[in-house]
């Protein structure tokens, strides 16, 4: 059953609410303009702030890695588009990094729909991350405090893991693809009946009938 979008912090599996937004790349409709693609929508507290600057540089340096996974990046904060443009210009001139992904200049409407505004932090958006699949469904959410910068390698990892999980109907162990027990192997979903539980012992590598694993094909 398809879940309907609602205002506030969403649930996994819900659709991203339809939003018409102004960005540094012009007007966009989310998720319509990214139909058929994965995308990472992430908010930052404000332009011209130290942690956010390091995050945007880190995202840009990994942008092509995301694009190889058919995944776009979209930033967001409650700042005017002119502020975004001046900030990215500063990053280019001073840090020699040119931001190639769009940044939403939100008036608070988009942030409110996605629960990005913490009542105790004024109008600043929290460091939220939404990984959205090609059908517009939210598949993963991360929320960070203002003081802690994000790990972009982890965000890239989960996009790749979600895609592989969807395609192969498998699960990923902790720290995949570098799990201490299974390495880069994946976990077979639990069986639903006794016959399947017995058959899988000869079909896969198993520690027991409920913990079986394999190499990706």
- Return the active site residues: 52
Tell me the Ramachandran region of residue 44: left when phi exceeds 0, alpha when psi lies from -120 to 50, beta otherwise. beta
Q: At what angle do helices 50-61 and 81-95 cross, to 10 degrees?
A: 70
Which of 194, 212, 192 shows the shortest CA–CA distance to 202? 212
DSSP string covering 123-181: TPBPEEEEEE-TTSBEEEEEEE-TTS---HHHHHHHHHHHHHHHHHT-B--TTTTSBTT
3-state secondary structure of 195: helix
Burial 64-93 (b: 16+ CB within 10 A, else e): eebeeeebbbbbbbbbebebbeebbeebee
3-state secondary structure of 82: helix
> Angle at the Cα of 50 (from 45 to 51), degrees rounded to 5?
60
Query: Are residues 213 and 205 in contact, defined by beta-carbon separation less than 8 angstroms?
Result: yes
Which of 202, 37, 23 shows the shortest CA–CA distance to 132? 37
């Amino acid at each position: 059953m398809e879940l309907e979008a609602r205002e506030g912090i969403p649930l996994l599996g819900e659709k991203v609410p339809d939003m018409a937004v102004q960005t540094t790349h012009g007007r966009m409709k989310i998720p319509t303009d990214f139909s058929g693609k994965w995308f990472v929508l992430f908010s930052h507290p404000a332009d011209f702030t130290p942690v956010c600057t390091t995050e945007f540089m880190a995202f840009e340096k990994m942008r092509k890695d995301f694009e190889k996974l058919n995944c776009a990046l979209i930033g967001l904060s409650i700042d005017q588009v002119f502020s975004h443009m001046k900030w990215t210009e500063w990053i280019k001139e001073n840090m020699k990094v040119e931001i190639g992904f769009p940044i939403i200049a939100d008036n608070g409407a988009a942030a409110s729909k996605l629960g990005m505004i913490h009542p105790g932090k004024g109008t600043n958006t929290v460091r939220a991350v939404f990984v959205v699949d090609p059908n517009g469904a939210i598949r993963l959410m991360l929320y960070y405090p203002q003081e802690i910068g994000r790990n972009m390698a982890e965000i890239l990892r989960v996009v790749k893991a979600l895609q592989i999980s969807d395609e192969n109907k498998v699960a990923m162990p902790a720290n995949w693809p570098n799990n201490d027990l299974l390495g880069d192997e994946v976990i077979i979903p639990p069986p639903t009946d006794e016959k399947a539980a017995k058959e899988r012992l000869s079909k896969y590598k198993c520690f027991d009938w409920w913990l079986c694993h394999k190499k990706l094909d």
